[in-house]
Chain A
């Protein structure tokens, strides 16, 4: 692996429930993600993959363990990581342009430079001309494009994606997967992508991490050695997909 960008070290997460037994969502999870790597995380539902991503993002505090970025502890939200939500999370009172501008208002980007940045990322997600539209006027796929542009605008080095295409129809999802790969190649970001869709994970990732059933532990890392663009129906792809699926199913059946 190339240089390490992000390191997850011994992360344990326990949710304290009053009167009930505490829920251990993650148990001693460690991993390293390389600079520019595309890592996908899959696992049975409830295995804590979203929790892990939220801890990396800094939205959730781990009970134990630390997150390192470029070797430095980074447990809070910060400009080096951007997060994309399944539910898009666009600000409905802001039009497309203003949504993308949001993060720039809280970094030291001068007003004059913002326009250029917004245009650049609008173009990157193929939404030039939609600046003035409000979120309610956009389809799900377009909303997620705006959310991606918004996250990219502050130029984080790491992009965290929490089932970003889960709410989209199959066709739109496939298109956005290809767009995401293109953007990843153009920008060289490090991407951590949580999915419940194994085909999606195998199609996108350099590696696919399978988490165990609750409490989530790292079960296995699958390097997907296939060249891109990957052929979803090719025999090698199907083989990789099946082996990941088998591991996930083992966990599901254990429940």
Chain B
């Protein structure tokens, strides 16, 4: 039984495993026999050793990074969902707020770094702020689109059933109807927020995955840099995977395409 499952797994993932293995072999050979300079390209084996050596600091750095990331995303959701909802539901709010959003939105999040430092100092707050700036707009805009796209017939059905106040309609009809769109926005925001993380932490002076990556670069320990790159990539992937699982199983179970 277990053997059969192993075979089935290999059949499904076999090609992927082979291509990854080949990549690792090429990397190792290239580094050891062609480039021969671990500053330019550390070997795979050296990176594995670094990962092992860094086994104690990485969890702490991960926690610090999660703190920055979590605060940034939480505030972005806390502001982005209500603002997007109000803009999507009330035309007048859309006309008032939209120009402001469209003015600020094209500014790259990293351009806010100087002001993040001035406003928050070299604290966890400034790193969180950069992630917040990167995350709020996809959440806001997707929430807006979701609310605006609430099927008219559902709003009418709710109204004739006695749900007539705007707040009730927003909570009981527009929000659940917009939830797939909101979830998609949060997912994009999490991706962007994670990408901003390294830059947001580089200028700090505490710790965190991005900070450490830069720290080891300054020490010219490039094997450690790659170790942190791998961890950043892996966690970014896992975050996305976990969110998707959560959203699909808990929030959006009613959607046919997902359940089937």
Contacts and interface: CB of A to CB of B under 8 A. Distances in A.
Contacts of A91: 154, 157-158, 173, 176-177
Contact of A59 (B159, B163, B173, B253): B159
Contacts of A102: 158, 161, 163, 172
A94 B158 CA distance: 13
B162 A107 contact: yes
A93 B254 contact: yes
A92 B157 CA distance: 12
B241 to A, nearest CB: 24
Contacts, number: 69
A106 B168 contact: yes
B254 A82 contact: no
Interface in A99-117: 102-103, 105-107
A112 B161 CA distance: 20
B256 A83 contact: no
Given A92-B254, A106-B168, A136-B256, A81 B160 contact: yes
Where chain B touches its partner, the secondary structure class is helix
B179 to A, nearest CB: 7
Contact of A83 (B157, B172, B177, B255): B157
A57 B179 contact: no
Interface string B180-222: 0000000000000000000000000000000000000000000
A106 B163 contact: yes
Contacts of B164: 77, 106
A65 interface: no
Contacts of A103: 161-163
Contacts of B168: 106
Interface residues of A, number: 28
Interface in A6-58: 57-58
A102 B160 CA distance: 11
B98 interface: no
B161 A106 contact: yes
A73 B172 CA distance: 29
A89 B177 contact: no
B81 to A, nearest CB: 17
Interface in B128-160: 153-154, 156-160
A99 to B, nearest CB: 10
A87 B160 contact: no
A150 interface: yes
A20 B253 CA distance: 46
Contact of B156 (A81, A89, A134): A89
A129 interface: no
A105 B172 contact: yes
Nearest to B161: A103
Interface in A64-101: 77, 79, 81-83, 85, 87, 89-95
Interface of B: 153-154, 156-164, 168, 172-173, 176-177, 179, 253-256, 259
**Cβ-closest 4 pairs across A and B:** A103-B161, A106-B162, A89-B157, A136-B256
